Amino acid sequence: MTILIPRRTFLVGSATAAAAMTVGQEARAAGPVKAAWVYVGPVGDFGWSYQHDLGRKAVEAALGDKVKTSFVEKVAEGPDSERVIRQLAGVNDIVFTTSFGFMNPTERVAKQFPKVKFEQATGYKTGANFAEYNARFYQGRTVAGTLAGLLSKKGVAGYVGSVPIPEVVMGINAFTIAARKINPNFQTKVIWVNAWFDPGKEADAAKSLIDQGADFINQHTDSPAVVQTAEARGVMAVGEASNMQNFGPKAQVTSNMDDWGPYYIERIKAVIDGTWKSQSVWLGMKEGAVAMAPYGPAVTPEAAAAADKVKAAIIAGTLDPFAGPIKNQKGELKVAAGQTIADADLQKMDWYVEGVQA
């Protein structure tokens, strides 16, 4: 092992960016691998960013002094994110950017820092030193949809959508398909808040959906505001990214949880070993990246058994959430019986299935 001045003591100050230009070109110095995360929300959002930060902490716990981690929270998607990513690239070996809006900025910075590794969650571009990772959140939505079909008395669910990217659209579809397998008349009403983290708007959307007759609320936003609103209004809700039970002890039937820890540990180990390669992965329930929170009090034993069965079938690979026949909103057959939707088509999904009101 060659011994060099540990980069840890390198004061990030006036020299940062000037140094960044050169540090980026150097081979990795000995000492701990430096890994940084860029979050779109605050680490205290108790949802998406919080869960990524738990992943970061899992890395620290697993790899100890072989790694040094840091993060920047509440980074706006757009030009500000590129500046933050560049600052981090100057002093880190690997940078994880955890929102879709960071994709193009990350790609640009990755080209300027060929020796630094970059990984971006929920996008679609890759490069020599730029990897993509995502989770099959829709698998959890299928479980949630099963619960909704069995538990919703009105047969109407509300869905608080964040930004209409394929990942969110396919979640709405998976949820509705599963619910309609049980209740063929099931309807899902969608409201978009056009933000990942905006508790005020999220709560308003939930209220409006409940006023429109929904008694089961799902969400694809980052804060527990939806679960809190459901609790206050006495309807059921599905948490997102993290277990939000504390925010809705009666309301939360389950939560579509993410676990990024194992992936982050694996990737940073690869950097330490020098085996890191660019890739594009889509992890699911089988890998443990998507998991369901323990069922809440509103879940009947029968519903729990049905949901468990669906979960087990997805993990075993015997149930495909997008197996045909699937009709679109107009009632036209989009996927024939015996067919399914390929991953490549799912990743650019921009149409809704029958029963979605958006």
Q: Does 13 bind other proteins (CB under 8 A)?
A: yes
Q: How far is the CB of 93 from other proteins (least distance, A)?
A: 14
Candidate segments 10-18, 132-140, 241-249, 257-265, binder of other proteins by CB under 8 A: 10-18
Identified binder of other proteins from the candidate list 5, 6, 8, 17, rule CB under 8 A? 17
Candidate segments 68-76, 173-181, 236-244, 328-336, binder of other proteins by CB under 8 A: 68-76
Q: How far is the CB of 181 from other proteins (least distance, A)?
A: 26
Q: Which is nearer to other proteins, 117 or 311 (CB)?
A: 117
Nearest residue to 39 (alpha-carbon basis) of 108, 117, 101, 104 = 101
Rounded-to-10 torsion of CA 289, 293, 294, 297: -160
Q: Does 182 bind other proteins (CB under 8 A)?
A: no
Q: Does 282 bind other proteins (CB under 8 A)?
A: no
Long-range contacts of 306-311 (CB under 8 A, 24+ apart): 306/146, 306/147, 306/150, 306/182, 307/143, 307/146, 307/147, 307/254, 310/142, 310/143, 310/146, 310/178, 311/143, 311/285
Q: How far is the CB of 73 from other proteins (least distance, A)?
A: 5
> By CB under 8 A, how many residues form the interface with other proteins?
46
Spatial strand order of the sheet with 33-38 comes to 67-72, 33-38, 94-97, 117-121, 130-135, 280-283
Angle between helices 225-233 and 199-211 (to 10 degrees): 40
Q: Which is nearer to other proteins, 29 or 358 (CB)?
A: 358
Cβ atoms 289, 260 nearer than 8 A: yes
Q: Does 22 bind other proteins (CB under 8 A)?
A: no
Identified binder of other proteins from the candidate list 60, 73, 204, 287, rule CB under 8 A? 73
Q: Does 16 bind other proteins (CB under 8 A)?
A: yes
Q: How far is the CB of 146 from other proteins (least distance, A)?
A: 27
Read off the DSSP letter of residue 92.
-
The residues near 41 (Cβ < 8 Å, ≥ 6 apart) are: 47, 48, 49, 73, 74, 196, 197, 222, 223
Q: How far is the CB of 255 from other proteins (least distance, A)?
A: 25
Q: Does 86 bind other proteins (CB under 8 A)?
A: yes
Q: Does 72 bind other proteins (CB under 8 A)?
A: yes
Q: How far is the CB of 329 from other proteins (least distance, A)?
A: 16
Angle at 128 between CA 163 and CA 117, to 5 degrees: 75
Q: Which is nearer to other proteins, 124 or 295 (CB)?
A: 124
Q: Does 241 bind other proteins (CB under 8 A)?
A: no
Q: Which amino acid is at 45?
A: D
Q: Does 173 bind other proteins (CB under 8 A)?
A: no
Q: Which amino acid is at 289?
A: A
Q: How far is the CB of 282 from other proteins (least distance, A)?
A: 13
Q: What character string, x for contact with other proteins (CB under 8 A) and - otherwise, covers 104-143?
A: x-------x----------xx-------------------
Alpha helices in the chain (DSSP H): 16-23, 48-63, 79-89, 103-112, 137-151, 166-182, 199-211, 225-233, 261-273, 301-316, 343-346
Q: How far is the CB of 347 from other proteins (least distance, A)?
A: 6
Q: Does 164 bind other proteins (CB under 8 A)?
A: yes
Q: Does 82 bind other proteins (CB under 8 A)?
A: yes
* CA-derived radius of gyration, the chain: 21
Q: Does 14 bind other proteins (CB under 8 A)?
A: yes
Q: Does 166 bind other proteins (CB under 8 A)?
A: yes
- Sign of the CA dihedral running 137, 143, 147, 150: positive
- In angstroms, the CA 123 to CA 353 distance is 23
> Cis peptide before 325, with omega less than 30 degrees from 0?
yes
Residues lying near other proteins in the complex (CB under 8 A): 11-18, 20-21, 36, 42, 70-80, 82-84, 86-88, 91, 100-101, 104, 112, 123-124, 163-166, 169, 194, 347-350
